[in-house]
Amino acid sequence: MKKSLALLALSFITALSLNAKDNDLLMATTTSTDNTGLLDAIAPIYKLKTGVDIKWVAVGTGQALEMGKNCDADILFVHSPKVEKEFVKDGYGIDRTAVMYNDFILVADSSLADKFKGKDLKQIFETIKKDDIKFFSRGDKSGTHNKELSVWKSVFGQTPEKEEWYNQTGQGMIATINIASEQKGVTLTDRGTFIKYEDNQKGKNNMVIVSEGDKNLKNFYSVIAVNPKHCAKADYENATEFIKWITSDEGQKFVGDFKLLEKPLFTPDANQRKE
């Protein structure tokens, strides 16, 4: 399954590159900015304003960074600060800039809600392991996958890949939530994607939030221009203009006003974040 998804992403990347024009901005981004519809909302507004057509491929943050390294994108819109900083330090990207955040939450089939009631995140993870409750991980080196692994390590000192109850889907976030729902299990997701999932379900959702508000589960998004010194073909000019717009008062207001089910999906934080 992972190989098929990788080949599909590669074919899409190739198609983008072959069809790219001088006024196109090629973006590698996370599934959450795509699944939520944020980029679908931004793209026509930005094209009307600048004439630049944003074309993007949505993958896990790890794969998005690889696209940057391989010169298959002009700009990255990602959410895994540690690996982003390494990407910039290694000379692949420049101008890493804060854009917005939401948070990671733990969601589970409603039949499990009473089992987790009154427990904090650490206690829920301990219960999952003790009771062999099915946990579904994206397993794709995405920002969400990286955060989930960091939680397991903080609780048990290691990750649970060899446990029978631990399942890696190798898929995006909404697909992983769907699988967790079908299998009556648990998964970690960003809040924005879960709101989109709820919207898709049209009131037929059996997945509920069982843990939220943990101070260590903020989910920070940044944009990074691909370094033109590393990739001569990277459109640094258009990448820079997008960074300026998305972090401007206009761009930040657009992010803050973007809602589903009357709920904001992201909180703008350009020029405010301290890392």
Assess whether 83 and 136 both reside in one domain: no
Number of domains in the chain: 2
Which pLDDT score is estimated for 19?
Answer: 44
The pLDDT assigned to 73 comes to: 98
Same domain, 54 and 72: yes
Q: Are residues 97 and 156 in the same domain?
A: no
Strand stretches in the chain, DSSP E: 24-29, 53-58, 75-78, 93-109, 135-137, 166-168, 186-190, 207-211, 218-226, 259-260, 263-264, 267-268
pLDDT for position 60: 92
The domain boundary, picked from 211, 237, 253, lies at 211
Q: What is the CATH number of the domain that holds 151?
A: 3.40.190.10
Per-residue pLDDT of the chain in tens (275 residues, 90 and over written 9): 444 444 444 444 444 443 445 689 999 999 999 999 999 999 999 999 999 999 999 999 999 999 999 999 999 999 999 999 999 999 999 999 999 999 999 999 999 999 999 999 999 999 999 999 999 999 999 999 999 999 999 999 999 999 999 999 999 999 999 999 999 999 999 999 999 999 999 989 999 999 999 988 999 999 999 999 999 999 999 999 999 999 999 999 999 999 999 999 999 999 888 77
- Residue 17: per-residue pLDDT: 45
Decide: helix, strand or coil at residue 207. strand
Residue 274 within any structural domain of the chain: no
User: With the CA atoms of 260, 261, 265 and 267 taken in that order, what torsion angle do they form, in degrees rounded to the nearest 10?
Assistant: 110
Rounded to 5, what percent of the chain is helix, strand, coil?
A: 45, 25, 30
Are residue 65 and residue 54 in the same domain, yes or no? yes
Query: Is 275 a domain residue?
Result: no
Domain that holds residue 188: 103-211
Flag whether 273 is in a domain. Answer: no
Residues 138 and 229 in one domain: no
Within a domain: 251 = yes
Amino acid letter for position 85: K
Q: Are residues 130 and 175 in the same domain?
A: yes
